[in-house]
Structure 1
Amino acid sequence: MTDETLARLQFATTAGFHWLFVMLTLGLAPLIAVMHTRHALRGTPLLERMTRFWGQIYVVNYVLGIVTGLVMEFQFGLAWSGLAEYAGNVFGAPLALETIVAFFAESTFLGMWIFGWGKLPKAVHVTLIWLVTLTAYASAYWIMVANGFLQHPVGHEVRGGVAYLTDFGAMLTNPNAINALVHAATAALMTGGVFVAGVSSYHFLKRTAEREFFRASLRLGLFVATPAAFVALYYGFVQIPTLVDTQPMKAATLRGHIDDLGSLRVEDVQAQLAQRFGAGDYRPPTWIATAFDVMQDVGYLIFLLIVVALVLLYRDWYLRFRPAAYLMLVAVPLPFVAALGGWLLREVGRQPWAVYGELTTAAARSPVGSMAASLVLFCGVFLALGVADVALIVRYARRGPAETDLGGSPGDGQAERPTASLAL
């Protein structure tokens, strides 16, 4: 492999892993906010226990997701300094805002929420988890604004080989950012809903004594996942006209997998791009069509499974039909598979461009030596973090609400545990 290929593989690995953490974080936050709000309004102990149990899993995933984000940004600066030199004046602003929102505001609100159990007024405590949710989605927006510029650069001019921002509003309303944000955000909500439903199904299969606890969790998870999956599928197709207009080569590569692409052909687009930008191969890898099929087909399968599960909630048929619980448990990793397919389609599909039509990947790479050692190091770190995340989540999910650490106090029969501790 060339050093450029290794650098691209390193970024694909780190960014792809980080995105999987973010999917679950974005998906769980609104559900936990709803649980906490209902508890504050009703004062029901069951809702408080639900908030603490699912909140504990959220915090574990959030903490490890922050670590992967920091590692990803470090390797980004290490391997892609050419991109920063060319477009840093433009997409540096949204990246800086994302950092302020995610690493300062969101983390601060979450810390106050974690340690605020039994110490803050109910209204303040509930407001904090909603602020965590809002800042999480605001962070996602700024990331998509920056990525949207890479996909379809708008609102700037190039002077002396460097891009300068001229129209911030155009950048903020870039269709490549807005439509993709809706698609990704609703896919994340679907992920959170399926995760909650899947873990609840696991406890039904174990014939747990917490039947009412997981029945309420299952219902909330499915009620959120069903409309979210529909909107995610819909906004996947909403992006196709923009894709044809802004990235015709990617669209042409998907010919035969997407309807209504007209006469768009790879050969014709290649000839047009070669005439416009000079000699070169402007075709992305053909396997992005497979990534598209995986994303789309798995998305359809998830939607079918959650709709069937939602129907089976009628008169508790779901609890009496064990195959439904098995299917929902098996479905837990499916949203992550679909998300990975979509990420590969979006990012690899724009090759050979780092900034579409303006800066190639080769020109964006840092002038460093072999990337082999760096690739092994970063992949090793991310593998360890991924294993730790899955192991901790599985551990807490299997333990159930009886041994929840988040928000613990002596009054809960947890006198030997530090208040609001997380046994990490």
Structure 2
Amino acid sequence: MEVLDLARWQFGITTVYHFLMVPLTIGLSVLVAGMQTAWVRTGDVRYYRMTRFWGKLLLVNFAMGVVTGIVQEFQFGMNWSEYSRFVGDVFGAPLAMEGLVAFFVESTFLGLWIFGWDRLPKRVHLACAWAFSLATVASAYFILAANSWMQHPVGAEFVDGRPTMTSIWAVLTNSTALAAIPHTVAGSFAVAAAFLVGIAAWHLWRKRHTEDEHRPVWRSSVKLGAWVGAVSFAVLLVTGDIQGKLMFEQQPMKMAAAEALCHTEQPGSFSIIAVGDVADADCESVKTFNVPALLSFLAHGDFETEVKGVDDLVVEYQERYGTHYPDDPALGELAGKPIDYVPSLPVTYWGFRIMIGFGALGAAIGMVTLWLTRRGRIPDSKWFPRMALAGIALPFIANSAGWIFTEMGRQPFVVVPNPSGVDGVWMFTATAVSDLTAGEVWTSLIALTLVYAVLAAVEVFLIARYVRGGVEGVLPDGAEPGGDDDSDDDALAFAY
């Protein structure tokens, strides 16, 4: 394999793994702060127990997210130094802001929250919960602003062969970022909601034939998770439609690939599912089940507008950005070769549908679980907990598929040209990689993959351990609010 392929595999593996932690942390941190708010306002011990239990799982996931997230920024200097040199003047600002938010605000207030039980006044302690949870959302905002600049560069001018930032405000209010942020946050709440529903439903089923003093905790968690999941999916549909219209305008090749739309259509039909091999750009052997004119509506808001296909877009891209890579030895086997402007059609086509389908199925499982447990009922069948637990995975898969579609759909660009932006502010992925040998990248790829596999085993073990332990396993010596719960050992027990 070439250095470029290895570098992309490494970044893909580490990024997808890291992003498994990110949405759960974002969604669960806000929900835990909401649980604690309900306890402070009502004094209901049920909400205190919910805060303790779900907060414990949040801490395990947060710790793993921090560890795996650090590697992401290191890779810009490891395998993607040419990219870093090109975009550093613009990309550095939002990343620096994210670092300040993540490591100062999040970490400080999370520490105060962990060790502040029965040491800080209730409302001050609650404020710490909201501070770190909202800082987590703000941290995601800055990361998404940086990523959105790669998808749609703005607020920059081309100086001495590199983009130079002219307005941080333009970068932070990029139309692509403003569409991506609510979509990503809604996806994070969908993940957290399924997490609540799956675990709480399993606890309800496990102790269905016994008296369980914590049953109100699990019922409230199922109810909260199911409704949050349903609302999140509705928001995802609205924000996804906004994103789709922007993509048709800013990255038409990505959306044509998402539909395996090889030939221009007027009006464009939306493909529900394809039968056949979509790997070839001509798509002649593919049969699709379509909804007539729906793609034109998704792209432009009407049922008549033309939607350009891959064939016509390739010609446009070749006219604007060239037909061949530079004849530079640093590009390896791609030097002087024709540029393939068509993303991987199977990845974009099926990734788009997995994102939508699995997200919808996850929300549906949450609502079905809520219905089956209404009025104190708990199904006796073994399929009930299996369905609920399987539902946890669906939003995770949908989120990952969405990001894989977003990133791989913009190939062969690592910085996508802005159709109405500054000339020259774009970069091919092939020219962004560091001057490394294949052996060097193989070494880091294998090492990081092995380390991440170990971390995955550790997280699964810890999450499973505390889930099985239930509420009793996270309350220090069975302490309840207002009890004797102020020893250092108790605080550390909650943290670790």
Short-chain TM bin: over 0.9
Structure 2 counterpart of 1:241, from 245, 258, 276: 245
Structure 2 counterpart of 1:298, from 358, 367, 370: 358
**1:28 partnered with 2:28:** yes
Deviation at 1:77, TM superposition (A): 2.0
Aligned counterpart, 1:331: 391
> Residues 122-168 of structure 1: CA distance to partner in whole angstroms, max 9, x if unpaired?
11000000001110000000001000000011111111111111122
How far apart, CA to CA, are the structure 1 residues paired with 2:380 and 2:48? 27
Cα distance change of structure 1 residues 285 and 64 upon mapping to structure 2, 3 Å threshold: same
Which amino acid in 2 is paired with 1:110? L
Aligned counterpart, 1:201: 201
Deviation at 1:421, TM superposition (A): 2.4
State which drifts further: 412-421 or 52-61.
412-421
Aligned counterpart, 1:379: 449
Aligned counterpart, 1:228: 232
Aligned residues: 424
Cα distance change of structure 1 residues 409 and 307 upon mapping to structure 2, 3 Å threshold: closer
> Residues 151-190 of structure 1: CA distance to partner in whole angstroms, max 9, x if unpaired?
0111111111111111222212212111111111011111
**1:282 partnered with 2:282:** no
Which amino acid in 2 is paired with 1:120? L
Deviation at 1:412, TM superposition (A): 6.2
Aligned counterpart, 2:97: 97
Report matched runs for 1:1-400 at 5 Å: 1-207=1-207, 209=212, 210-255=214-259, 257=271, 259-260=295-296, 262-279=306-323, 280-287=339-346, 288-317=348-377, 323-357=383-417, 358-370=426-438, 371-400=441-470
State which drifts further: 22-31 or 229-238.
229-238
Percent identity, aligned pairs only? 38
Query: TM-score of the superposition, structure 1-length normalised?
Result: 0.95
State which drifts further: 305-314 or 389-398.
305-314
Deviation at 1:47, TM superposition (A): 1.6
> Residues 339-368 of structure 1: CA distance to partner in whole angstroms, max 9, x if unpaired?
110010011111111111211111111112
CA contact (8 A) 2:183 2:239 kept: yes
CA contact (8 A) 1:405 1:420 kept: no
Cα distance change of structure 1 residues 221 and 367 upon mapping to structure 2, 3 Å threshold: same
CA contact (8 A) 1:109 1:131 kept: yes
How far apart, CA to CA, are the structure 1 residues paired with 2:495 and 2:437? 42
Which amino acid in 1 is paired with 2:142? W
CA contact (8 A) 1:405 1:423 kept: no
CA contact (8 A) 1:141 1:181 kept: yes
State which drifts further: 37-46 or 408-417.
408-417
State which drifts further: 219-228 or 189-198.
219-228
CA contact (8 A) 1:409 1:419 kept: no
Deviation at 1:46, TM superposition (A): 2.2
Question: Aligned with 1:264: secondary structure?
Answer: coil
Question: Aligned with 1:196: secondary structure?
Answer: helix
Aligned counterpart, 1:421: 493
Deviation at 1:233, TM superposition (A): 2.6
How far apart, CA to CA, are the structure 2 residues paired with 1:202 and 1:284? 41
Deviation at 1:60, TM superposition (A): 0.6
How far apart, CA to CA, are the structure 2 residues paired with 1:177 and 1:283? 24
Report matched runs for 1:396-411 at 5 Å: 396-404=466-474, 411=483
Which amino acid in 2 is paired with 1:402? E
> Residues 10-55 of structure 1: CA distance to partner in whole angstroms, max 9, x if unpaired?
1111111111100110111111111111111122222212111110
Aligned counterpart, 2:287: none
CA contact (8 A) 1:407 1:421 kept: no
Deviation at 1:408, TM superposition (A): 7.6
Aligned counterpart, 2:422: none
CA contact (8 A) 2:201 2:369 kept: no
State which drifts further: 259-268 or 402-411.
402-411
How far apart, CA to CA, are the structure 1 residues paired with 2:80 and 2:476? 40
Deviation at 1:313, TM superposition (A): 4.7
Cα distance change of structure 1 residues 171 and 292 upon mapping to structure 2, 3 Å threshold: same
Deviation at 1:414, TM superposition (A): 10
Cα distance change of structure 1 residues 213 and 322 upon mapping to structure 2, 3 Å threshold: farther
Deviation at 1:320, TM superposition (A): 6.5
CA contact (8 A) 2:21 2:65 kept: yes
Between structures 1 and 2, the one with greater helix share: 1
Deviation at 1:422, TM superposition (A): 4.5
How far apart, CA to CA, are the structure 1 residues paired with 2:218 and 2:314? 54
Query: TM-score of the superposition, structure 2-length normalised?
Result: 0.81
Gaps of 5+ in 2: 260-269, 273-294, 300-305, 324-338, 418-425
Which amino acid in 2 is paired with 1:394? A
Question: Aligned with 1:61: secondary structure?
Answer: helix
Cα distance change of structure 1 residues 73 and 283 upon mapping to structure 2, 3 Å threshold: same
Which amino acid in 2 is paired with 1:404? V
CA contact (8 A) 1:32 1:55 kept: yes
Question: Aligned with 2:33: secondary structure?
Answer: helix
Answer with 1 or 2: which has the greater Rg: 2
Deviation at 1:6, TM superposition (A): 0.5
Which amino acid in 1 is paired with 2:437? G
Cα distance change of structure 1 residues 231 and 321 upon mapping to structure 2, 3 Å threshold: farther
Which amino acid in 1 is paired with 2:368? V
Question: Aligned with 2:164: secondary structure?
Answer: strand
CA contact (8 A) 2:176 2:243 kept: yes
**Cα RMSD (Å):** 2.1
